[in-house]
């Protein structure tokens, strides 16, 4: 049974798992069930007013903290699995938007990760999306204009954000994840092929 957080209209973490066994899910594959659950979980989050919520003053968003807790009693969607699936959902949503309105998109994002005072922007793991058709028709732009945008994003936005993220993790007592740059760029490589 799906439950809502009182007064919020949002599904809880346990509701996400409960969707899997609900009558609604009958006849759908595991991947389809998980996609439906993630869609309900993220619905209207960009307008829900909870962008600055934190469990502790100066801490992390409650969703991040909640998905980093494990009870070990039952097999549930892990934080890593949810992050990866949500990233692919994001790529799917941007691709669909480009298809239905004929647009072009460039998405650069940096997942939360551990940084030190000596971390350089070029050492950060970044996820990159470019409309596949444009990527195929004008691949030479990858080496020029897009590279400049990615470098500026890493230096001016991502690195300062990750420094603040590390402080928020310390407030919550959560160890920030380590990200390997070469692994995270597999997404771009898969789009190129």
* 141 within some domain: yes
pLDDT value, residue 190:
43
Write out the two tokens for 106.
């460039």
pLDDT value, residue 153:
97
pLDDT value, residue 119:
94
**SS3 category, 184:** helix
* 136 within some domain: yes
Report the range out of 45-49, 125-129, 131-135 with the highest average pLDDT: 125-129
Pick from 142, 156, 124, 141: nearest CA to 188: 142
* 15 within some domain: no
E-only strand ranges, the chain: 106-109, 127-130
**SS3 category, 130:** strand
Q: What is the mean pLDDT of the chain?
A: 78
* 124 within some domain: yes
* 16 within some domain: no
Domain count across the chain: 1
Residue 19 above 90 pLDDT?
A: no
Residue 110 above 70 pLDDT?
A: yes
* 63 within some domain: no
Write out the two tokens for 35.
């996609």
Pick from 150, 50, 163, 43: nearest CA to 115: 163
Q: Which domain holds residue 187?
A: 82-192
Tokens 């993790």 — which residue? 169
- Evaluate whether 11 touches 40 at the Cβ level (below 8 Å): yes
* 152 within some domain: yes
84-98: per-residue pLDDT in tens?
A: 888 999 999 999 999
């Amino acid at each position: 049974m799906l439950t809502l957080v009182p007064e919020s209209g949002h599904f809880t973490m346990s509701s996400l798992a409960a969707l899997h066994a609900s009558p609604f899910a009958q006849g759908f594959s595991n991947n389809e069930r998980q996609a439906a659950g993630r869609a309900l979980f993220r619905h209207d989050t960009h307008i829900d007013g909870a962008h600055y919520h934190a469990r502790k003053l100066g801490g992390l968003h409650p969703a991040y903290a909640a998905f980093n807790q494990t009870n070990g009693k039952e097999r549930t969607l892990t934080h890593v699995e949810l992050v990866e699936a949500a990233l692919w959902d994001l790529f799917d949503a941007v691709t669909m938007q480009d298809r239905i309105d004929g647009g072009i998109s460039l998405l650069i994002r940096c997942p939360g990760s551990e940084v030190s005072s000596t971390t350089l922007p070029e050492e950060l793991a970044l996820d990159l999306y470019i409309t596949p058709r444009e990527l195929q028709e004008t691949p030479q732009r990858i080496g020029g204009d897009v590279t400049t945008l990615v470098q500026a994003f890493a230096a001016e936005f991502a690195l300062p954000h990750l420094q603040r993220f590390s402080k928020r993790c310390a407030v919550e007592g959560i160890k920030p994840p380590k990200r390997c740059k070469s692994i995270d760029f597999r997404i771009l490589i898969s789009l190129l092929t």
